[in-house]
A and B are shown apart, each in its own frame.
Chain A
Amino acid sequence: MKILVGVKRVIDYNVKVRVKADQSNVDLTNVKMAMNPFCEIAVEEAVRLKEAGVASEVIVMSVGTTQSQEQLRNALALGADRAIWVEAESDIEPLNVAKAFAAVVEKEQPGLVILGKQSIDSDNNQMGQMLAALTKRPQGTFASKLVIDGDKALVTREIDGGLRTVALTLPAIVTTDLRLNEPRYAKLPDIMKAKRKPLDTLSLADLGVTPKSHYRLDKVEAPSTRSAGIKVASVDELISKLKDEAKVI
């Protein structure tokens, strides 16, 4: 079984985001970029399935700018076999990305597609579900456990208040939540080896996708900031402030 994994290049999760002075967007100039944390978990899960003999090949794919190839190489160093880079603007919308993935799914026929549940930049949480709809495949979103059992994928999903397990008939789409696994770090020899692994370049046109704009970004603002508040000297003062001033207890 082939597994297709999505990888997105995003701002490193430890970097503090700043809004541009003209409010046109956030400022990503000279900011450290990295693989989206949920995509790292997706890559790890696919590599583990290959190590367990369940998967035969792990293909990683990214739809984005030239620099997205760095994250694809990173995924190859973590154990993926080959990569597909689809050139696009960095702010390409989820439905357009889903259409590009759907075209690759059609061509590669993976038994499983594993994607991060959301990217930590646009926070849309849409692409996997959209891909499932477009490819008419069942979906298991926000997975904290994935078991392949014959022609079924048993996906334990993080839902409000607990966990829900669903059975999906393969081929299927799975999106990762935090508890699915703990991603490994790439080792130096694997990073060197990854440079020789195949990385194909495609355009959206090659995949028959004409990107459409479904929304327009009008403005990006910094959220209202909190003032630092006050320091209290004792537990008694804290309790009285919470009771009488903030009225929250």
Chain B
Amino acid sequence: MTTLLIAEHNSSTLSSATLCALTAAQAIGNDIHVLVVGKNVESVADEAASLSGVAKVLCANADVYEYALAEPMGDLIVYLAANYSHIIAPSNSESKDFMPRVAALLDVGQMSDICAVLSADQFKRPIYAGNAIATVTALDAKKVITVRASSFDKNAQQNDQKCPVETIDFVAESVLSSWQSDDITESERPDLSSASRIVSGGRGVGSGENFALVEALADKLGAAVGASRAAVDAGFVSNDLQVGQTGKIVAPDLYMAFGISGAIQHLAGMKDSKVIVAVNKDEDAPIFQVADYGLVGDLFTIIPEMVGKL
């Protein structure tokens, strides 16, 4: 029994989510092979080879894999699948794209976003935006799994001796789908989905201009900026900042909510944060029921005071 872990990387280093998924893979208990796919990713494969608990690294290096398009990624993984009982990847916008393809081509189900490993075939995963946790047993001989990285600790242990790296010559084709362009947000701020600190604003912020206050505090803390659906619907900020059931689900170490009342829809997106701070002038706002630290007051005086004192 061997597990194939598909690495997430930026072509130069492995992501921390890959190290979290490695912990999940170790909990499953098999030998672990890591697959590194991309263009010019030899250094990433080399990095993976020194990770503790990894028996072998497979490296598929070709132009067609540069943008991790689902069609060639799916074909490559299915080509390799015969030798593996578990195929596992950290949950991200790429793996969400190609892993269900792999499952369908293998005629098996997929376990999406597992948050705990109970045995080699039993897992926990959040449903209803994390408002319920399901315990699920995979019945297929081959298991295709994506891992919610924030639920597992990183395994960053290194081995002195590197494991072997095997080059995969299989080159998938991508006839029907091609990459056109990327528009990656050039923000000094961390990405909302993976940030360790988030400062969010809601309807109480009042306007798009006033969001500069929220941004100032975020920058002071090195945090990402988030927003409630009410703030997005009111046009204060763009949709991609929305934290909530229909937006981004986040679990940072610190989540600060300013002028957010705490609708169910919003709580579903942030309630797994380690520490929640709420600032609201309404002392009965539901957000205080989930906040570790609540401060009743006016965000327009509190934020500048915080920025000044931090």
A positions within 8 Å CB-CB of B: 11, 13-17, 19, 26, 37-38, 93-95, 98, 120-134, 137-142, 154, 156-169, 172, 178-179, 213-223, 226, 228-236, 238-239, 241-242, 246, 248-249
Contacts and interface: CB of A to CB of B under 8 A. Distances in A.
By CB atoms of chain B within 10 A, which of A37, A222, A229 has the most?
A229
B275 A138 contact: no
A139 B97 contact: yes
B53 to A, nearest CB: 25
B176 A137 contact: yes
B306 to A, nearest CB: 6
B294 A232 contact: yes
B292 A229 contact: yes
A168 B69 CA distance: 11
Interface string B264-275: 110000011011
A173 B198 CA distance: 34
Interface string B85-113: 00000001110111111111101111111
A160 B122 CA distance: 28
A65 to B, nearest CB: 18
A168 B177 contact: yes
A138 B71 contact: yes
A47 B50 CA distance: 53
A172 B177 CA distance: 9
Contacts of B52: none
B179 to A, nearest CB: 6
Contacts of B138: 214-215
B103 A130 contact: yes
6 contacts: A121-B127, A122-B127, A142-B96, A167-B180, A169-B177, A226-B290
Contacts of B245: 13, 120
Interface string B21-48: 0000000000000000000000000000
A39 B64 CA distance: 32
A217 B254 CA distance: 33
Contact of B295 (A134, A157, A223, A235): A235
Interface residues of B, number: 89
Contact of B122 (A164, A218, A229): A218
Contacts of A246: 254, 274-275, 292-293
Given A26-B132, A129-B101, A164 B181 contact: yes
Given A158-B93, A179-B240, A93 B136 contact: no
Contacts of B98: 129
B309 A223 contact: no
By CB atoms of chain B within 10 A, which of A154, A157, A214, A222 has the most?
A214
B176 A165 contact: no
Contacts of A214: 108-109, 138-140
B12 interface: no
Given A123-B128, A238-B295, A160 B113 contact: no
Interface in B185-241: 185, 191, 193-194, 197, 221, 238-240
Contact of A139 (B93, B101, B277, B306): B101
By CB atoms of chain A within 10 A, which of B126, B191, B246 has the most?
B246
A33 to B, nearest CB: 13
